[in-house]
Amino acid sequence: MEKRARVLIDCEDAKGLVYNISKVFYERDLNIDTNREFVDKEKSKFFMRTVVSGNFDTQELLKALRLVAPKEAHIRVIEPKDKKIVILATKESHALGDILIRHAAGELGASIACVIANHDTLRALVERFDIPFFYIPANDLTREAHEKKIRECIDTYTFDYIVLAKYMRILTPTFVKAYTEKIINIHHSFLPAFIGANPYKQAFDRGVKIIGATAHYVTDDLDEGPIIAQDVIPVNHRFSWKDMQRAGRDGEKIVLSRALDLVLHDRVFINGNKTVIF
């Protein structure tokens, strides 16, 4: 039976890589539907995303590719299907609401396992879409104790990514390490400027002429993980910081949606503290 796969390869650069990889596809009579390549010359690192179609065994194809790639190559053969996400939220509805609507319209490219929030504010919104909602208050708990309860809830599900849809709590290194390269955040600023709390007030005080939003992977460095998508909105002296905040919300949900589309369709490679996107 004919099927398709996304083949993702990143490894040390070497001569003949494209030829040898393409030969593996040719020998199995696979059609190359799309192909993108990039070499980071500073790090001598090679990236390749190829969509192939035909009759193949996924594990046999993966084994054949490993034989022609450098020893430490990271190779994935992914048959396209909707991924699963868990969403963490607090009180703000715009980013979460946009994801829920895209999911309901069949445009998200993922199923939503559940929404977990540290406030009960968004329960009615989420349950309107027949998605499980869990309220896990922080109360007087330490961050570690609160995250332990969240992890217990998260780990009852099988999922690919955790999406922070305006989840307004800083995650501990222990939590981040448990889900390395699986947590995606939307930050209400054009990183790396104005990191941390109330960036719109920071931007207003600085007299900026543009504001923005940044979607990125979460690491131990606050708001400094590899960037997936960004956008900007022009502002001027007539904007108060609250006007900037209102304008920025539209940018936030658009940028988060764009980032999720890239990640969920396997178009993003992490390259140190940067990304390569095809």
Q: What's the pLDDT tens digit per position in 151-189?
A: 999 999 999 999 999 999 999 999 999 999 999 999 876
Q: DSSP string spanning 41-62? A: TTTTEEEEEEEEEES--HHHHH
CB atoms under 10 Å from CB of 238, counted, come to 6
Q: Ranked by mean pLDDT, which of 72-76, 186-190, 197-201, 223-227 comes out on top?
A: 72-76
Query: Is the pLDDT confidence value at 87 over 70?
Result: yes
Q: Are residues 145 and 222 in the same domain?
A: yes
Q: Does residue 183 share a domain with residue 90?
A: yes
| Burial group, residue 267, by CB count within 10 angstroms (0-12, 13-18, 19+) | middle
Q: Would the pLDDT of 192 be above 60?
A: no
What's the structural domain count of the chain?
A: 2
Which residue, of 51, 78, 105, is where some domain finishes? 78
Q: How confident is the model at residue 203 (pLDDT cuts 50, 70, 90)?
A: confident
At residue 91 the predicted structure's pLDDT band, cuts being 50, 70 and 90, is very high
Q: Of all helices (H) and strands (E), which one includes residue 82?
A: none
Question: What integer is the mean pLDDT of 36-56?
Answer: 97
| Residues 61 and 101 occupy one common structural domain | no
- 129 and 64 in a single domain? The answer is no
DSSP assignment, residue 169?
Answer: S
Residue 58 and residue 22 share a domain: yes
Same domain, 22 and 61: yes
User: Of the candidates 28, 60, 78, which is a domain's last residue?
Assistant: 78
- Comparing 38 with 212, the larger pLDDT belongs to 38
Residues 147 and 248 reside in one and the same domain: yes
Question: In this predicted structure, what is the pLDDT of residue 200?
Answer: 78
Using CB atoms within 10 A of its CB, is residue 203 exposed (0-12), middle (13-18) or buried (19+)? buried
Asked if residue 255 and residue 208 are part of one domain, the reply reads: yes
Q: Do both 128 and 43 map to the same domain? A: no
The whole-number pLDDT of residue 244 equals 86
Residues 107 and 146 in one domain: yes
Q: Are residues 115 and 66 in the same domain?
A: no
- Count CB atoms within 10 A of the CB of residue 78: 15
Instruction: Give the pLDDT of residue 196.
Output: 63
pLDDT recorded at residue 254: 94
Average pLDDT, the chain: 94
Residue 245 has a pLDDT of 83
* Amino acid 145: pLDDT: 96
At residue 270, does pLDDT exceed 80? yes
Report the percent of the chain where pLDDT is more than 90: 82
As a whole number, mean pLDDT of residues 55-60 equals 96
Mean pLDDT of 213-220: 93
Per-residue model confidence (pLDDT) at position 175: 97
pLDDT of residue 74: 98
CATH code, domain carrying 22: 3.30.70.260
2-44 pLDDT tens trace: 899 999 999 999 999 999 999 999 999 999 999 999 999 999 9
CATH code, 250: 3.40.50.170
Separation of alpha carbons 36 and 240, rounded Å = 44
Work out the average pLDDT over 185-197. 71
Q: Are residues 248 and 174 in the same domain?
A: yes
Structural domain including 37 reads 3-78
Which of 53, 78, 103 is the endpoint of a domain? 78
Between 87 and 244, where is the model more confident? Answer: 87
**Angle formed by the axes of helices 241-264 and 94-104, to 10°?**
40
Catalytic positions are 223
- Residue-wise pLDDT for 118-134, tens only, equals 999 999 999 999 999 99
